[in-house]
Structure 1
Amino acid sequence: MVDINDGDHFVRADLHIHSYGVDDGSFDVTDESMTPENIVNTAISSNLSIISITDHNEIGNSKKAIDYAKVKNILVIPGIEVSTTQGHLLVFFETFTNLRSFYGKLTISDNKERCDQGIVECLDYAKQYGGFGILAHIDLDSGFEKVIGRFNDVTEACFSHPELLGLEISKKDNFEQYQTS
């Protein structure tokens, strides 16, 4: 049993936020109030300590949020949600420079809806720049499990990749399916 009063420190965080912006945000966000500045301000007023703007196949608003938050009491982690050929992957980096270098390796469609790389290739690129990945909403239609399915070579390659550090499960009822003994 872990004693949470024995040096552990918990913070409130949201590492999967999409923003608005024709050129710099997620292609599917239509709420014009979802600017990087408004997201940072709302996060602070909601007592969040850490956030990441992880737009679909875009990094411009991640940089804007990082810059805006520099003088505020919140950490903004550079990130992106990559819409790979095998499902969605959240990828995070220590610096925006590393995120930008990772992004430069990707082949993104003109409409920003799809990345031509698969999950393992993206995780390999992330490793080159000190990043790590979390499979996004694996239990939804755009998630890994629905796109690839369970128990095959692709699943094994992804789940055993050293840069894959987590799974995002969207529905609380699905949590038990992903527990280990």
Structure 2
Amino acid sequence: MTHHPSRRLVLGGMVALHAVALARIAPGQTPLPSRTGPIGAEDFMALSQRMTGHDRLSPTLGARFLEVLAETGRAPALQTLYASASGASGGAPEDQDDIVQLLLHGWYLGRIEIDGQTHLIGYEQTLMGRVTADILPLRSYCGGTMGFWALPPDTGPLPLREAQP
């Protein structure tokens, strides 16, 4: 009997590898601006861009994400992570593995699990969709008339993106 990994397991592994890579890269980046008080939307987006490595994140998804983190009591951990990224504290991002994992799961998968409860944040604008966006878009709605999926796909040259340096 062969065992095939599930899509969820593969994506989880990719997120974990990304977290390890970011933990090694983060010390070489310029620090985020220092701030006092609770994390605001702009600060959260700046931190998220730093943690994911993506500049174009959805502000709507970010607002939902920040709201879930605040409602579930993760705001202090988020502030500690922000302080680490801004250089205001001596702690390294490795010290905040749980909040880093929540951030990456939220942005890549569109859902996070906190205290055994799954919070759905989004689907179409998550980062997992960017990997296949040029060929296979994530759909949250029907892509055609009834039975469109039974027709053979169009064949021909695939539009490949140019390699970016």
Same fold (TM over 0.5): no
TM norm structure 2: 0.27
Which of structures 1 and 2 has the larger relative contact order (alpha carbons within 8 angstroms, sep 6+)?
2
User: Of Structure 1 and Structure 2, which has the larger fraction of its residues in strand?
Assistant: 1
Larger Cα-atom Rg: 2
User: Of Structure 1 and Structure 2, which has the larger fraction of its residues in helix?
Assistant: 2
